[in-house]
């Protein structure tokens, strides 16, 4: 049963990755996805093109919240913490045995490496799983934000201290990304940590009560 569940989970993850890849490189699918998102998001956060900064902010908040929620649901944080603690203890013990030239202990610890590598592989797979499903959620929202900014009648914004800039100007980060992407990132990325802490507090509130 566990193997069947694991196999189904791996299949779903691969399917999600394939769908995300098709979404990125197939123009027809990307256009259809963006159009579908427009029916949902524009009435909610479009503000009739009047407040593009707010649209970027709320669009980013939705994306960050959903991404954080997916990671929270698919990753067992307590299990990951235990695995990381075990891995740290193993590495520390192996290093100590090697430095003290305890060949017998080193041999015994190295005999455990296949099991340790299996645990590492399991941890890596668990961490990759939410990435696939997050991409399916994140890409449509991100594509829609790009379309929204591209369709704005006025793509320039005024600065409080004077002057203006275009949302499609290249930003200061190596001049690789347009300003709207940098604004979106700086406004919303910090909220990921906030959402994560709130979700952890809700999920593990019973454990927190017992430890306080």
Q: Residue 106: what pLDDT?
A: 77
Would you state the pLDDT for residue 39?
A: 93
Mean pLDDT by 10 residues, the chain (212 residues): 54 76 84 91 90 88 89 77 80 84 80 79 73 84 90 72 65 68 82 83 67 53
Listed in order, strand segments (DSSP E) in the chain are: 156-158, 164-166
Q: What residue ranges do the domains of the chain occupy? A: 2-81+131-211
Query: Tell me, what's the pLDDT at 2?
Result: 46
Give the separation between CA 164 and CA 88, rounded to whole angstroms: 51
Phi/psi of residue 178, each to 5°? -70, 160
Centroid of chain to Cα 163:
35
Helix, strand and coil content of the chain, in percent to the nearest 5, comes to 80, 5, 15
Report pLDDT for 175. 64
- Of 149, 151, 155, which Cα lies nearest the Cα of 60? 149
Q: Are strands 156-158 and 164-166 parallel, antiparallel or unpaired?
A: antiparallel
**Cβ atoms within 10 Å of 72's Cβ, excluding its own:** 18
């Amino acid at each position: 049963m566990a193997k069947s569940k694991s196999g189904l989970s791996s299949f779903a993850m691969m399917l999600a990755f394939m769908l995300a890849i098709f979404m990125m490189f197939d123009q027809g699918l990307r256009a259809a996805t963006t159009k579908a998102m427009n029916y949902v998001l524009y009435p909610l956060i479009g503000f009739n093109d009047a407040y593009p900064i707010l649209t970027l902010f709320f669009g980013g908040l939705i994306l960050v919240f959903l991404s954080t929620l997916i990671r929270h649901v698919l990753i067992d944080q307590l299990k990951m913490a235990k695995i990381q603690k075990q891995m740290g203890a193993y590495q520390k013990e192996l290093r100590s045995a090697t430095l003290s030239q305890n060949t017998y202990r080193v041999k015994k610890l190295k005999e455990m490496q296949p099991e340790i590598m299996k645990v590492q592989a399991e941890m890596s797979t668990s961490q990759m799983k939410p990435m696939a499903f997050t991409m399916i959620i994140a890409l449509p929202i991100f594509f829609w934000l790009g379309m929204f900014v591209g369709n704005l009648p006025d793509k320039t914004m005024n600065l409080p201290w004077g002057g203006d800039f275009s949302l499609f100007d290249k930003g200061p980060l190596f001049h690789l990304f347009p300003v709207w992407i940098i604004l979106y990132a700086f406004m919303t990325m910090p909220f990921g940590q906030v959402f994560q802490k709130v979700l952890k507090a809700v999920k593990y509130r019973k454990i927190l009560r017992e430890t306080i």
